[in-house]
A and B are shown apart, each in its own frame.
Chain A
Amino acid sequence: MPTEEIDLPYHIKYLSVLDQEGQVDKSLEPQLSGELLVKLYRAMMLGRRFDERMLILQRQGKIGTFAPLKGQEAQVGAAAALKPEDWIVPSFRENAVEIWRGKPMERVLLYYSGYNEGGMMPVGLNMLPVSVPVGSQMSHAVGIGYGLKYRGQESVVATFFGDGATSQGDFHEAMNFASVYQTPVIFICQNNHWAISLPRSRQTHSKTLAQKAIAYDMPGLQVDGNDILAVYSAVKDAADRARNSEGPTFIEMLTYRLAMHTTADDPKKYRTEEEVKQWEMRDPIIRFEKYLRAKNIVDDQLVQSIVEEVKTEINAAERRWQEVVENGIDPLTMFENAYAELPENLRDQREMLKKELEEKRGLVEKAAVSRD
């Protein structure tokens, strides 16, 4: 019985363009316009500042639980590498991507302050709402990809998820379908090293996540996920291939969640401050800024004006959000969109809630009068 090696031409590449110090590898540097580079920098800053602002609002009790993205702002590079008509299927830590694509920040605030209306997005963004159950949304991307291919459209789909998601059966099923049907999908795994308290090393025994692609005969690539140029290049390349009918790609972005899993989580329980500090030195924004300064694309003055602009933009979004909230949202809207047309029993239930709310208001007014 002969045994011999099956010759499989697989290997996993690691891509890094911009190192921790902002030094660029000239041979790999994507040729992006100064305008786009500034736009990317601005989007990263906005992502960081909006995240910080949301954390304050959460601590003040003005919004509820959310998943901070601090440290993962290079994700905007992935969004930027797509065309506006390409689809985005996010999980729940992609605010910066969603805002890049055009989701209004006031909608994000509305959603996280507990209003279902926050799920509404402008028509034509080609982006699905936040998906919370880990690993469940990737097969939707594959279905969208199949539909695009079936309709002969040139668009592609990018789906985002974390390292934890790669343990789910749904992830493998989505990868397999994408491979079997050769759909134009880019699987973007933001390996931020922690799935709540479980470190990446205990999530899977595999050396890399990128190698998971090998089993599906799909190109798998690992990139420095805090290097926006590497992220941009990898996604651009995968999108070109997908558009060219060359099938799906899996990209593992090596990044780090600098903050908590969600605002309900306390990372001190499971990881060291030293580890976090190590990753703070690899901050995606700082190194990109160094690169832009070295290229004379930004200087102190431009950085300062971007900081101001971002602040103004966030303030304006907060004001719009506050206006919506202060104008009041009718609780009865909870029945809207449950179905295309509201069934009879739900019309009855809505009527019942209406009476109950009137009764509640009556009691509140009565209490107010008796206090006076």
Chain B
Amino acid sequence: MPKMNMVQAINMALRQEMEKDDSVILLGEDIGVNGGVFRVTDGLLDKFGSQRVLDTPLAESAIAGFSIGMAILGLRPVCEMQFSGFSYFAFHQMEAHASRMSARSQGLYSVPMVLRAPYGGGVRALEHHSESREIYWAHTPGLKMVIPSTPRTARALLVSAIRDPDPVIFYEPKAVYRAFREEVPEEEETFPIGKSRIAQEGTDITLITYGASLRTVLEAATELNEQDGVSCEVIDLLSLSPLDDQLFIESVKKTGRAVVVHEAHSTYGAGAEVIARIVEKALLYLEAPVRRATGFDIVIPLYQREQDYLPGVLRIKRAVRETLAF
């Protein structure tokens, strides 16, 4: 299996789906000639032409609305928001129409589109280029929301997202884009939307996370094992909506303890929903209150302080130790 980084894996998913299905259309700002500001769509304009790879005018709302129209007609648009911080221009279209069209038309029309956007901190960028506001989408009924954590999960999830009959928001952890390589099979691979996976098995505590935080959590888990002899089970959520609660509930029933980790703000973040599910479905299995290690409830600061903002190994270890010591 070839080893590739997340940028290459996403590029491969797009290329293969476009080869397979001529209804797949890519659109966004600077995705064609420039190959995307992160080069995710590099080479696709040359391969598929300007009818299928559209360098659009600078208008996120129209990119989303235009995609909705194409999707209603039966095309499979995959639109890119250059940074998630600029996707709010498109939020209105996705909330008011993409998410509701199926229900509004009582199933007559569906919106099988994907909205891709790089998100998250850790790349020393400007304001609006580092935030983690996935919950806006995950909180919106009618939208699906997925976040891969590795090259392989990115490729498999994107293929599933493109083929999904509903609108899918696909957030790409840009800090992971070129951070490491992983084997990704050339042959077709999908990953069901609405399912999570066990990234590492363990027995003492369940760490639940997603996106770029997965690597930090795995690092913290290794240190906790070396320093405290603690065995962490790590769950990679992958889908925030629909949320697969079966896997982490099973895990929490086994370990009796849990910590949720994400870059996003703590208040009303994914952790709040995960903990609510645990309380609803596994309360009597808990040995300790469930903790969160997250970003703070402020706008992520500019790059000098972003590492102090982000939940790093120290914050995760502290949360785990407090949970275990309870």
Task: List chain A positions with a Cβ less than 8 A from chain B.
Answer: 64-66, 111, 113-116, 118, 130, 132-136, 164-165, 167-170, 195-198, 202-204, 262, 264-265, 269-270, 329, 331, 334-335, 338, 345-346, 349, 353, 356-357, 359-360, 363
Contacts and interface: CB of A to CB of B under 8 A. Distances in A.
Contacts of A66: 126
A135 B304 CA distance: 27
Contacts of B89: 133, 136, 168-170
A164 B59 CA distance: 8
Contacts of A197: 30, 32-34, 55
A335 B300 CA distance: 10
Interface in B36-78: 37, 55, 57-62
A169 B66 CA distance: 14
Interface of B: 29-30, 32-35, 37, 55, 57-62, 85-86, 89, 124-129, 266-267, 296-299, 301-306, 308-309, 314-315, 318
B30 A114 contact: no
B11 to A, nearest CB: 16
A216 B305 CA distance: 44
B125 A64 contact: yes
A269 B33 contact: yes
Which residue of A114, A135, A203 has the most chain B CB atoms within 10 A of its CB atom? A114
B305 A198 contact: no
B27 to A, nearest CB: 12
Contacts of B126: 64-66, 132, 262
B94 to A, nearest CB: 15
A206 to B, nearest CB: 11
B29 A113 contact: no
26 contacts: A64-B125, A65-B125, A113-B304, A114-B304, A115-B304, A115-B305, A132-B85, A134-B58, A136-B89, A164-B57, A164-B58, A169-B89, A170-B89, A196-B34, A197-B33, A197-B55, A202-B55, A203-B57, A265-B37, A329-B304, A334-B301, A345-B267, A345-B297, A356-B315, A356-B318, A360-B314
Contact of B124 (A114, A170, A198, A353): A114
Given A349-B298, A353-B296, 5 more contacts: A115-B305, A196-B30, A202-B57, A262-B126, A353-B308
A197 B55 CA distance: 9
B61 to A, nearest CB: 5
Contacts of A270: 33-34
Nearest to A65: B126
Contacts of B296: 334-335, 346, 349, 353
A35 B273 CA distance: 65
A264 B57 contact: no
Nearest to A334: B301
Nearest to B61: A169
B267 A198 contact: no
Which residue of B126, B127, B314 has the most chain A CB atoms within 10 A of its CB atom? B126
A-B pairs with the 4 shortest C-beta distances? Answer: A114-B303, A197-B34, A114-B304, A164-B58
Given A334-B301, A346-B297, A167 B58 contact: yes
Given A202-B55, A334-B308, A133 B85 contact: yes
Contact of B37 (A169, A204, A264, A353): A264
A135 B58 contact: yes
A198 B298 contact: no
Contact of A195 (B58, B298, B318): B58
Contacts of B60: 168
A118 B127 CA distance: 12
A169 B304 CA distance: 34
A334 B57 contact: no
Given A114-B303, A203-B57, A334 B298 contact: yes
Given A338-B299, A349-B297, A356-B318, A167 B125 contact: no
Given A197-B34, A359-B314, A116 B297 contact: no
Contacts of A170: 89
Contacts of A132: 85, 126-129
Contacts of B55: 197-198, 202
B289 to A, nearest CB: 15
Contacts of B301: 116, 334
